[in-house]
Structure 1
Amino acid sequence: MPRKTKLICTLGPATESEEMIGTLIDAGTNVFRLNMSHAKHEWAAEMTRRVRRAAEQRKAQIPVLFDLTGPSIRTGDLEKPFELKLGDVVEFRNSGTAPAIPLSTTVNYDGLMADVKQGNTLVVDNGALLMRIDSVMEDRILCYVKTPGTMGSRRHINLPGVRLNLPALTEKDHKDLALAVECKADYIAGSFVRDAAHVRELREAMEAIDGEAQIVAKVEDQEAMKNIDAIIQEADVIMVARGDLGVEIDFEDLPIVQRRIVKRCHELGTRVIVATQMLESMISNPTPTRAEVTDVSNAAYEEADCLMLSGETSVGRYPERCVEAIVRIATRIERSGGLGYGHNVLLRDERQKVARAAVTLADSLPEGRLVVLTRRGVLANHVAMLRPKTAGFYAFTPNERVCRQLALTRGITPFRMAFATNIEETIKRVGEHLVAEGLARPGTPIVIVSDILSDHFAANSILLHHA
């Protein structure tokens, strides 16, 4: 059986050559991510072109995901890193404000002082440094160092439990969004999404400049967890961004929160990505730790649509081995079965109930294949959320962008094919294509579900065809 769990790889200095991009596709990468926190516009545009060329050479459907920086709080530039000891006092001040003590740096969010209060915890660099806010002034805060360590330039700051009044999109995000639309990105991810309004703001900003990408909402803080249902219903895809989320909540709660989000995404019919530190040790080591193997296997067992590699492939020494490792783990876990959250999907309309009937029929046929005919991909994603067990699950669409976007969805192998004016001819072409690709044999039963209106095929219909 083909692997169902999809894989996102982040491009970076270690993987930017077209040859390496092709190698990663051959190894099992389904989606490439561009992290706009670090990417220059010229580089991002060139990476998109390289992905498209490498995919076309292989006749593969490979979407590109632009990941916006979002309204993150970062420290300023330092002449040299601070070597901090327990009990040191560090000053964080507004830009343009003169330092009052030697250990002083700016922050890129001038509203910080109005949002925090004495006693709040301040976390620097994803947990590398813990501080306590001891003094809050109009233009600066003074923080007591609770854990020793090194603080460099432009380090990320978290404030667990603090409601920050940051904008949904920064000026940089708007510029990066324009580039993503220009590059015809398939997915655009919004960072630090805190409520459904933030998702709508990103979508409206994209559509205002004629973008057609689907929106990924990254869940990264406690505020997002309070609004999780509304965010899931508003977004096209949810990303469980465990880096910042693991700092924002108690670390022992992270596995529970991850599973809760994945389960709720299944119930509400929204695709879900599990991301961050999946194979972190493989940035420098050729094999994963046993804990990482278990972590990846848990996400695959939860039947997430997609797993994501970040530094492992962008700057790591063994990007190809990382892809091979995650493919091996996911494939093995899929053979043992999953949690079965697909049974919990809330069937709210006729289309979703037809999808359930199609999956039940296909799963009941020992050699059955399941095919969705779709123009926008909506029905295909509905079917996928039910987690069909059939060995072959395919989506056919005439739309190139929809075809690429479906490559992120768990279990689906998408094909681009023009639909004939006659539905019988379209179905015949589907059977011939599957046989030609070695995905079916003559006589193989194919369950075809479609929401396409035609003279001979009603919307939301199921047909049993033999190749």
Structure 2
Amino acid sequence: MKRTNRKTRIICTLGPATDSDAMLESLIAAGANVFRLNMSHAKHDWVRDVCARIRRISAEMEEHVAILCDLQGPSIRTGDVDGELVLTKGDLVEFRKADAAPSMELSTTVNYVGLMADVSVGDRLIVDNGNLLMLIKEVNVDRIICEVKTDGTMGSRRHINLPGVRLNLPALTRKDHLDLAVACDCAVDYIAGSFVRDAAHVRELHAAMLEGGGDAQIIAKIEDQEAVRNIDDIIAAADVIMVARGDLGIEVNIEELPILQRKIVQRCLKLGTRVIVATHMLESMISNPLPTRAEVTDVSNAVFEEADSVMLSGETSVGKYPIECVEILDRIARRIERSGGMGYGKDAVLRTERQKTVRSAIQLVDSIPEAQLVVFTRRGYMPVQASLFRPTSNIHAFAANASTCRKVVLARGVTARQIDFGDDLDSLLRKAVAMLKDEGVVRDGTPLVVISDMGQKGEIVDSVLLIHA
């Protein structure tokens, strides 16, 4: 079992570059905490196979590695074209419904039939993650005509963004429902909803997950201006927030992106929800063995802001140096964590008695030199709450089952261990302390602040104890 003092969690997207058992083992050994399956590309048979392999390998390595299923969501894409369309600034290109005939040479279909009703003349249209910029010049019943503003080429099934436009897309597509069923069958730990625009979308995904028999936690990906406007409601509805900087960086003015990232992280910690910073963390390492200095600074900023997790996408799914990417994230995070952080956790809003109990325990552990925080949890609530206050101590969580251990993996600074729960808190404490001593985490006399919600005389009682190992 490999234990780490790194608090920031690392999410790795799996793909052709990391599909083998040997690569999964190496990623876990390097410090991966969560494996992401991108359902925009993943086939169902592969999902079932790789989930089983992740569970087996992580069990063999005695690590609680979680699985995140990332739904494609209601993305707008161009249709198929013959090769590529070569576009020059000033050209006119049309996007039409599938059953409409082309009216000009530069033409492609679009998969969203409601597009023409949602857009207006003068709206910006961005294709292929910002590679092509266009301006809508004409809107008809079955097509729109755009003026090309940048030279480039447009291939098949390219992603379309419409910054600032309210799109009447569904929260979940038919493909999402099919992918969700597989995710529930595989008992994944986290399910991410793409292009979440309001709290109702989060609730719809959660209800569909429960209907499918799943028990995953819901991650809401913040990818457009509408989501930013509704951020507090989305934070309240979701288990985890992801700052998905790819689409978000296209939907907003690029100079606003760092400010939005920091504001969203701050709001998440204040309102009590975990947060992931994602996309382009080490993009250059898809083909290069070392990151740029700017990328190192970018990762450092996310760690300094005290995000719960950072995520790798193409770097580990198709890149040449997936293991090195995880190792570099690990090194950066460890170093920046030693230098301190923004301290947003101190502004957390306390709404319940349980939150106040956890806060009192954090204040106690932070006031005692070399003290460690131990949390016994049945469903994962207490260690996540403890994490959101960003204590200086690491958080040692003990749960009765592996599923709960994986549910707290995305909480900053939490290391989860599985232990048999009994009715006797004293004997449970002795077992937990023995485990920590065996791992070299504590030694005789180390102060331990213990939070538990163990049953006492048939009731669940929250308690805070101070003991010494």
Q: TM-score range by the shorter chain?
A: over 0.9
Aligned residue for 1:14, secondary structure, equals helix
Deviation at 1:186, TM superposition (A): 0.2
Does the 8 A contact of 1:423 with 1:456 survive in 2? no
Partner SS for 1:408: coil
Matched residues in 1 for 2:461 and 2:295: separation?
45
Question: Is the aligned partner of 1:133 residue 2:136?
Answer: yes
Point out the more displaced range, 95-104 or 21-30. 95-104
The equivalent of 1:227 in structure 2 is: 230
Q: What is the alpha-carbon root mean square deviation over aligned residues? A: 1.1
Q: Which residue of 1 aligns with 2:106?
A: 103
Give the 3-state SS of the residue equivalent to 2:456 in structure 1: coil
Q: Describe the superposition over 1:230-253 as per-residue Cα deviations: whole angstroms up to 9, x where unpaired.
A: 000000000000000000000000
- Counterpart of 2:398 in structure 1 is 396
1:288 aligns to 2:288 (yes or no): no
Task: Please give the alpha-carbon distance, in whole angstroms, between the structure 2 residues aligned to 1:47 and 1:142.
Answer: 43
What is the match of residue 56 of structure 1? 59
**Cα distance per residue 1:146-200 (max 9 Å; x no partner):** 0011111111000000000000000000000000000100000000000000000
Contact residue 423 and residue 455 of structure 2 kept, 8 A: no
Question: How far 1:279 moved relative to its partner?
Answer: 0.5
- Which residue pairs with 1:449 in the alignment? 451
Asked if 1:438 is matched to 2:450, the reply is no
Instruction: Choose which of 182, 185, 195 in structure 2 pairs with 1:182.
Output: 185
Residue pair 2:450, 2:464 contacting (<8 A) in 1 also: yes
Give the alignment partner of residue 253 of structure 1, picking from 251, 256, 261: 256
Contact (CA 8 Å) 1:35, 1:66: kept in 2 or not? yes
User: Deviation at 1:457?
Assistant: 9.2
> Does the Cα contact within 8 Å between 1:350 and 1:460 map onto a contact in 2?
no
Deviation at 1:139, TM superposition (A): 0.5
Whole-Å separation in 1 of the counterparts to 2:167 and 2:303: 33
- Correspondence list, 1:247-326, <5 A: 247-326=250-329
In the alignment, the residues of structure 2 paired with residue 452 and residue 250 of structure 1 have an alpha-carbon distance, to the nearest angstrom, of 49
- Partner letter of residue 413 of structure 1? T
Give CA-to-partner distance per residue, 1:256-279, whole Å, 9 cap, x none: 000000000000000000000001
Hey, what's the Cα distance between the residues in 2 that align with 1:110 and 1:125? 19
* Match in the other structure for 2:166: 163
Question: In structure 1, how many angstroms separate the alpha carbons of the residues matched to 2:140 and 2:76?
Answer: 18
Aligned to 2:465: 463
Matched, 1:22 2:53: no
Residue in 1 aligned with 2:377? 374
Question: Identical aligned pairs, as a percentage?
Answer: 60
Listed one character per residue, the Cα deviations across residues 90-135 of structure 1 (whole Å, up to 9, x for unaligned) are 1101112211111111111000000001110000011100000111
Residue 408 (structure 1) shift: 1.3
Q: How many residues align?
A: 466
Q: CA deviation at 1:458?
A: 6.4
CA contact (8 A) 2:284 2:291 kept: yes
What is the deviation of 1:453?
2.5
Segments ≥4 residues shifted beyond 4 Å: none
Matches within 5 A, 1:60-209: 60-209=63-212
- For residue 452 of structure 1, report the CA deviation from its aligned partner: 2.5
Question: After the TM superposition, which residues 313-392 of structure 1 pair with which residues of structure 2 at under 5 Å, given as runs?
Answer: 313-390=316-393, 392=394
Contact preservation (8 Å) 2:425, 2:454: no
Distance in 2, matches of 1:420 and 1:48, equals: 31
Q: Distance in 2 between matches of 1:445 and 1:432?
A: 14
**Contact 1:313/1:322, CA 8 A, preserved across alignment:** yes
Q: What is the TM-score when the length of structure 1 is the normalising length?
A: 0.98
| Structure 1, 457-466 or 333-342: larger mean CA deviation | 457-466
Partner Cα separation in structure 1 for residue 323 and residue 402 of structure 2: 27
Amino acid at match of 1:24: L
Question: Which segments of 5 or more consecutive residues in structure 1 lack a partner in the other structure?
Answer: none
